[in-house]
Amino acid sequence: MPPRLPVIAHWACPSTPATRVSIFSFRRCASSSATSPEIYDVVCVGGGPAGLSLLTGLRNSPITSGLKVALIDGQDLQKSRLPKDASLGSFSNRCSSLTPASVRNLQEIGAWKHANASRIQPYQEMQVWDGVSDARISFDWDTARPLLTPRKPSQPTTIAYMIENVNTTSALLGRLEELGGVATFSSTKVESIELGKDAEDLDLSSWPILTLSNGKTLAARLLVGADGANSPVRSFAGIESRGWDYGRHGVVASLKLEGPGRGGAEHKIAYQRFLPTGPIAMLPLPGNMSTLVWSTTPERAAKLKSLSPNDFIAMVNAGFRLSTADLEYLHSIPSGQAEEIAWRGKHTPINEAQIPTNVVEVQAGTVANFPLKMRHADTYTGERVALVGDAAHTIHPLAGQGLNQGQGDAAALVKTIEHAVTTGQDIGSLLALEQYNSDRYAENNAMLGVVDKLHRLYAVESGPIVGLRSLGLRAVDAMGPLKGFFMNRAAGGA
């Protein structure tokens, strides 16, 4: 259906011809003065992967490209760009596994071609096992293909793509630059958000008015909170966010392995071992590089960070090889882990074919830790407000879904705004935004629930639950269609 008159864009444009402008817009345009806020259709607070994806989607769509949009980020957005001379011997420690569904969205909005492809690593296999019982499940598209009947041509052959977050944001910024038309306020914090006033010449009483650290004020027909877990936009909207802290930290690091991995350069494998303190995961990057996400207690995270590079490398190798009792002891000694692990390794039977190849180097300055929490906002929408990404939900990283959920949110919100523009609705009205909430809330809630339960299930160290979960894991591994279902879900498919 051809788009109807893009009323909203015209409302926001002072130079719009009078014949296309509503009385309301004319009053607003007439009222602008030096002290009035600048009027925007969409103001997005947060230039992380979710906010950038939303704005790129809006600018890319012929239906919404006429909207007047602004981006505000407290950080310098130049730092969200991958340096042109980035070497393949060093990688950022903030990497994510992008599902094929997220990659498809990035392709559709024209951003994927701006990513540095040489720094992206697709992987075709996943090995996941229980650190207590050793029960294992493997996901491998090559062997699973016959199980996925009928297999659609669009079904992926890659489980996911490992990419540095900065490569994703860099690609989105590159595409936004190409599209143009975004008023960007970088290194500019939102200091306050208030409702506008019911002035004589301009009724902004339901509009969020943002005061920025550079002294400017902006009025938003629709204010998007893409401003991360502590979202000021969510606070302004009075939307509660509920959940809990896991009492765990995610330790990340960029690692060099002794080779390209067990499947060689063409068949990359991701590994995750569930330990009672949390999973340790090693995800492939190009060449011999890999990225670590080790979820563990804050005390153990602090210990890992304090170790010498040699002891740290030995601990990561031990995390995939030694018993939980061994690991507990190794965390309790102040130093000398490398020596201790070398000795213990000689006395522990290890099936090297099923675990990652040895880490030989940790990239200097990449060991860091992040507190892990689960949060879900009560709703993603309010009058003239929508939340996307971590502002709406934060999830344990064990399934690598947080950034992907944000990409799904951004794509869905673009569709909702397109529909509102096409049907002549006010894009900030709750009614127009409702579709976005119903498209995303239940889906994200289900994912948050599954991941939270997995975390709890694997935190149990002994007793019948260990037997039952191992039985469950082995059963799913043996059941073709169910395994195919999980693989499709992990890939972001239906």
List residues near ligand FAD by CB under 6 A: 45-51, 72-75, 96-97, 165, 189-190, 226-228, 232, 250, 252, 293, 370, 389-390, 397, 400-404, 406
Tell me whether strands 217-225 and 385-387 are parallel, antiparallel or unpaired.
Answer: parallel
- Smaller CB separation from ligand FAD, 132 or 190: 190
- Smaller CB separation from ligand FAD, 16 or 369: 369
- Smaller CB separation from ligand FAD, 21 or 386: 386
Q: Minimum CB separation from ligand FAD for residue 91, in Å? A: 14
- Smaller CB separation from ligand FAD, 299 or 339: 299
The amino acid at residue 61 is S
Q: Minimum CB separation from ligand FAD for residue 82, in Å? A: 15
Q: Minimum CB separation from ligand FAD for residue 323, in Å? A: 25
Q: Minimum CB separation from ligand FAD for residue 452, in Å? A: 15
| Cα dihedral 367, 368, 373, 375 in deg (nearest 10) | -110
Q: Minimum CB separation from ligand FAD for residue 296, in Å? A: 11
Q: Minimum CB separation from ligand FAD for residue 171, in Å? A: 14
Q: Minimum CB separation from ligand FAD for residue 489, in Å? A: 14
- Smaller CB separation from ligand FAD, 329 or 370: 370
Q: Minimum CB separation from ligand FAD for residue 100, in Å? A: 13
3-state secondary structure the chain: CCCCCCHHHHHHCCCCCHHHCCHHHHHHHHHCCCCCCEEEEEEEECCCHHHHHHHHHHHHCCCCCCCCEEEECCCCHHHHCCCCCCCCCCCCCCEEEECHHHHHHHHHCCCHHHCCHHHCEEECEEEEEECCCCCEEEEEHHHHHHHCCCCCCCCCCCCEEEEEHHHHHHHHHHHHHHHCCEEEECCCCEEEEEECCECCCCECCCCEEEEECCCCEEEEEEEEECCCCCCHHHHHHCCCEEEEEEEEEEEEEEEEECCCCCCCCCCCEEEEEEECCEEEEEEECCCCEEEEEEEECHHHHHHHHHCCHHHHHHHHHHHCCCCHHHHHHHHHCCCCHHHHHHHHHHCCCCCHHHCCCCEEEECCCCCEEEEEEEEEECCCEECCEEECHHHCEECCHHHCCHHHHHHHHHHHHHHHHHHHHHCCCCCCCHHHHHHHHHHHHHHHHHHHHHHHHHHHHHHCCCCHHHHHHHHHHHHHHHCHHHHHHHHHHHCCCC
Q: How far apart are the first and last CA of the chain?
A: 26
- Smaller CB separation from ligand FAD, 239 or 403: 403
Cis link prior to 150 (omega < 30° from 0)? yes
Which position has the token pair 């569709």? 415
Q: Which of 226, 274, 175 is nearest to 46 (CA)?
A: 226
Q: Minimum CB separation from ligand FAD for residue 271, in Å? A: 14
- Smaller CB separation from ligand FAD, 7 or 490: 490
Q: Minimum CB separation from ligand FAD for residue 80, in Å? A: 7
- Smaller CB separation from ligand FAD, 25 or 80: 80
- Smaller CB separation from ligand FAD, 72 or 132: 72
- 380 touches 436 (CB < 8 A): yes
- Smaller CB separation from ligand FAD, 370 or 486: 370
Q: Minimum CB separation from ligand FAD for residue 403, in Å? A: 3
- Smaller CB separation from ligand FAD, 417 or 490: 490
